Structure 1
Amino acid sequence: MPNPYAEIFRAPGAKGFASAGFVARMPMAMAPIGIVAMLSQTHGEFWLAGAVSATYALANALFAPQISRVVDRLGQSRVLIPTTLIAVAAFIVLMLAAYQDWPIWTLFVAALAAALMPSFPAMIRARWSELFRDRPELNTAFAFESSADELVYIAGASLSVGLAVALFPEAGLLASTLFLALGGLAFIAQRRTEPRPSGAVGGGGQSAIRQRPVQIITLALIFVGAIFATAEVSAVAITEKLGEPGAASLVIGVYAVGSFVVGLIVGALNLRMALEKQLAIALTVIAVTAWPLLFVDSVPMLALAVFASGVAISPTFITAFGLIERRVPAAMLTEGITWVMTGIGIGMALGSFVTGWVVDTYGASHGFVVSVVAGALALLTVLLGQRTLAGRGSHVPAAAEPQPAE
C-alpha cells in the first residue's frame, strides 16, 4: 500500500514550501510565551508580561484575516514580504525595549506592530489547495498540516521558555524571530507554488467571514480552542493539587501526542463520508470524552483521560479546513482559512482566562467543566449548521465529494 504522505510530497515544490512553512510558523507557539518569559524576567511583573503578550495575540487575531484577505487579492509574495519584515523588525524592537528598559509604552507599540505577522499555516494550506483542489490528496495534506501545527505547539512553547530560562531572557523570543525571518523568507522565495491571486476582492468586496460556512466553523473552533487551552491550565492546576506539579508537562504532552498520532492516521485514510458528518462525529467524540475529566483523582487517571479527550482534536481541524476549502470561493480561501485559525486562537485565549477564573474560584477539579460546556456548544453549533456545511449552493463539483441521501 503506497504511503499517502509520500505521494503528496511528490508534487513539484511541495517539500520546499512545506519545510519552509514549518519553520515560519514556529512563532505562532513561541512568540506569546516568549514575550511572557522575557518580560517576567526583565521587569519582574507578570501582569505586564501577560498584558503585552495578550496585546500581541489579540491584535494578531484581528490583523491576520485582513492580511490574508489582501493576499487573496494581490498574491502571497507581494503581501508577505512587507508584513514579515515589519513583524521581524518589531520583535527586534520589543527585545531591545525589554533589554534597555525603555518606557513601558514602547513594549505595547512594538507588540502591536509585531502582530502584523501573517498566518503562515493559512498560506501553506492555500498552496496545498492550489496543488490538489478537489482531489483526495488534499485531505492528506490538511492532515499533515494539522499534525504539524500540533507538533509546533508541543515543541514551540517548551523551546521558547527553556531558552529564556537557560540562556538569557530574550533568548526564546530571539529564536522565534529568527525562525520567522529565515522560514518566512524561504517560503516567500518559492514562487512557483504560489496560488494565483484573484486580482479583486472575492465576493464583491465582502469579507470571507460573511460566508455562513466560515461563521459556523469559526464559532465551533472557538469552542474547540477553549477545550485545548482548558486541558493545559487544568492539567497544571490538578497536578499541583495532587502534589506532583512536575507531571503537568507530561500530561500536556500526552494530550497533544494523542491528537498528533490520530491526525496522521486519519490523513492516511481516504474516507468517503461527507465532511460535515465527519466533523459532527469528531465533535461528538470530543464532547463525550470531556466528561471523564471531571472525575480524575490521580496523575495516571488524568493522563489517560486527557489522552482520550485529545484524540479527536486533529480530526476536527482536518475536516474543518477541508470544509472551508470546499465551501468558500477560491478568491476568499486564504482569508477563510485564516478566520478559522483565528477562531482557534481566540478560543485558546478565552479558554485560558475562563478556566483560570473557575480554578481560582471553585478549585482545580472544576476546571474541566469548561471543557464539557465548550464541547457541547461546539457540537451544537455544527449540528445546527449541517445543512449549510453540506454545501447547498456550493461551488463544489458533484464528483468532488459524495452527498448523503436525504
Structure 2
Amino acid sequence: MVSTVSEARPGYSQLLRTPGAWTFLLPGFAARQPFAMLTIGIVLLVQHTTGSYGSAGVVAAVTGVAMALFAPQSGKLADRFGQGSVLLPGVLVHTVSVGALTALALADAPLWALFVAAVPTGASVPQIGPMVRARWAAKLEGSPLMATAAAFESVTDEFTFVIGPVLTTALCTGLHPAAGLIAEAALTLAGGLAFAAQRRTQPAVGRADGRTPADHVSALSVPGVRVLAAAFLGIGAVFGGMQVSLTAFAEEIGHPGVNGLLYGVFAAGNMLAGIACGAIAWKSAPRRRLLTSYTALALAASGLWAMHTVPLLAGLGLLVGLCIAPALITGYTLVENLVPASARTEAFTWLTGSVALGQAAAVTVAGRLADEYSASTGFLVPMAGTVLALVTLLALRSRLAPRAPGIVVRSGSETAKERVIGHRVPVSVD
C-alpha cells in the first residue's frame, strides 16, 4: 500500500499527515517506554539488594539474552498471525514476570532464582518498535517517506532513552529501588494493550499472491539481515556499556543521581542526530552512510574510558549519541530493500534482538570490570563492540546489496538463495 500523502518533500510534517498514523503512534509511544527502562531498572534494583554490579549485570544480561532469542520469534508470529494476537498474551506474561522478578529481588532470593524469573521477563518484552516500523512500511511501501519514517522511529526510540533511564533512576533513587520496574510493568500493560487494540493499521497477515503462513519467508535467510544483525550487536554494546559504566561512575564520585543526567545527555545526542537525519535529503547510498556512521561511532566510543570528569564524560557521551542515530536509521532503512514485506516485522525484531543481545553481553562484562577495577574500565566495552561491528561491516559490506524487483527469497531447501523471476537483474548499491 502506498501512502496518499504528497511526496514532493519527504519531511516530518508530511509523514505525520499519513492517514491513520496517529492511531498507532500515540499508544506505541507509551508501550515502547519500558524498553529503555527494563535494563537500568534491573541493574539498580539488583545492585541495591546484592551490593554487586556484577550480579546486577548478569541478571540484566539474562533478560537481554532471552529477549534477543525470543524477539525474532515474536516478530515471525506477528507477521503470520497479526500483531494483536502476539501482543495480548505477551504483555500479560511480561507484567507477571516483572512482578515476580521484583518480588524475588526484594526477598533476597538466590541469584539462580532471579535468573529463572529473568528469562520470561526478557522473552516477553513486547516488540513495539519493530511493529510500529512494520506498520509504517505497510503504509508507505514505495514512498520516499519511508526513509523519513525510519528517522522518525529512531528519534522516537531515542526520546524514550532520554525519558526512560532518567525516570527510572529518579524513581529508584527517590522513591524505592523497585519503583522503576513497577513503573515499567505498568506502562507495558497499559501501552501494550492500547497498541494491540489498533488492528486497522497493522500489516495484513495474508499475501496478495496467495501465499499462506506456511510459505512464510525467513528474514534471517537474507545475508544482508545477518550482517546487519551482527553490526547491531555493537550498538547494543554501547547502550549496555554506557548504562552500567555511567551508573558505576556516578557511584564512584558520590553522586548517584547524576547517572540519569549523563545517560540522558547521551540519548539526547542520539535523538538530535535522528531529527537531523530525517530532515536531510540524502544523496549518498545507504550502505556508504552505514559504513561512515559506524566509523564515526567506533572513533567516538574509543575515548570514553579516558574521561574522568562529569563535563568531559557528558561531552563525549553526547558525541557518541550523535553517531548512533545515523547507524540505526540507515540499518533499518536498508531492511526495507533487503526483505519482502511478509518478513519485515521479523527482520526488524532481529535487529532489535541484536541490540538487546549486545546490550546483555555489555552489561555483564562492564559490570564485572566495574566491580573488579573501576567504572572507567567498563567503558572499554563500547569501544570493543563498535570496533568489531565496524570490522564486520567492512568485511561483509557486499552482502548489503538490496534485492532487485522480482527477487524472492525462498525458505526450506532454497533458504538464502535469490532467484529472479524470468531473468537476473543487476543491482547497483553505490
TM-score bucket (shorter structure): 0.7 to 0.9
Which residue is 1:301 aligned to? 312
Distance 1:7 1:73 in 2: 30
Distance 1:360 1:48 in 2: 10
Distance 1:316 1:201 in 2: 34
Distance 1:356 1:34 in 2: 15
- Deviation of the 1:260 alpha carbon: 1.0
Alpha-carbon spacing, 1:84–1:132, altered in 2? closer, same or farther (3 Å): same
2:20 corresponds to 1:13: yes
CA contact (8 A) 1:154 1:256 kept: yes
Question: TM-score, normalization: structure 1?
Answer: 0.85
Q: Deviations over 1:140-190 (max 9, x none)?
A: 111111121112122212322322343344432222122111111111111
CA contact (8 A) 2:170 2:260 kept: no
Q: Deviations over 1:241-260 (max 9, x none)?
A: 67876654443332221111
- Deviation of the 1:55 alpha carbon: 3.1
Distance 2:113 2:58 in 1: 13
Alpha-carbon spacing, 1:52–1:250, altered in 2? closer, same or farther (3 Å): closer
Alpha-carbon spacing, 1:274–1:396, altered in 2? closer, same or farther (3 Å): farther
Distance 2:363 2:72 in 1: 22
Aligned partner of 2:166 among 147, 152, 158: 158
Aligned partner of 1:352 among 358, 363, 379: 363
How large is the Cα RMSD of the aligned pairs?
3.3
Aligned partner of 1:342 among 353, 375, 381: 353
2:294 corresponds to 1:286: no
CA contact (8 A) 2:57 2:367 kept: no
Which residue is 2:61 aligned to? 54
Alpha-carbon spacing, 1:133–1:241, altered in 2? closer, same or farther (3 Å): same
Bigger mean CA deviation after superposition, 299-308 or 59-68: 299-308
Alpha-carbon spacing, 1:163–1:201, altered in 2? closer, same or farther (3 Å): farther
Alpha-carbon spacing, 1:30–1:359, altered in 2? closer, same or farther (3 Å): closer
CA contact (8 A) 2:227 2:396 kept: yes
Aligned partner of 2:269 among 253, 258, 280: 258
Distance 1:65 1:29 in 2: 19
2:237 corresponds to 1:230: no
Bigger mean CA deviation after superposition, 223-232 or 142-151: 223-232
> What code does the residue aligned with 1:118 have?
P
- Deviation of the 1:198 alpha carbon: 3.9
> What code does the residue aligned with 2:285 have?
A
- Deviation of the 1:86 alpha carbon: 2.4
Q: Deviations over 1:182-230 (max 9, x none)?
A: 1111111111111011476779556322321111001011012213333
CA contact (8 A) 2:244 2:366 kept: yes
Distance 2:358 2:247 in 1: 19
CA contact (8 A) 2:75 2:346 kept: yes
- Deviation of the 1:320 alpha carbon: 0.4
List alignment gaps of at least 5 residues for structure 1: 398-402
2:111 corresponds to 1:77: no
Aligned partner of 1:313 among 318, 324, 327: 324
Which residue is 2:200 aligned to? 192
CA contact (8 A) 1:68 1:118 kept: no
Give the 3-state SS of the residue equivalent to 1:385 in structure 2.
helix
Between the two proteins, what is the percent identity of the paired residues?
A: 37
- Deviation of the 1:33 alpha carbon: 3.1
Question: TM-score, normalization: structure 2?
Answer: 0.81
CA contact (8 A) 2:217 2:342 kept: no
- Deviation of the 1:366 alpha carbon: 4.5
Equivalent residue pairs, number? 401
Bigger mean CA deviation after superposition, 298-307 or 104-113: 104-113
Distance 2:43 2:376 in 1: 26
Alpha-carbon spacing, 1:335–1:171, altered in 2? closer, same or farther (3 Å): same
Bigger mean CA deviation after superposition, 136-145 or 92-101: 92-101
Give the 3-state SS of the residue equivalent to 1:196 in structure 2.
coil
Distance 1:244 1:97 in 2: 28
Distance 1:95 1:103 in 2: 13
Give the 3-state SS of the residue equivalent to 2:143 in structure 1.
coil
> What code does the residue aligned with 2:363 have?
S
Distance 1:155 1:229 in 2: 16
1:27-42 equivalent positions in 2, closer than 5 A: 27-39=34-46
List alignment gaps of at least 5 residues for structure 2: 1-7, 409-426
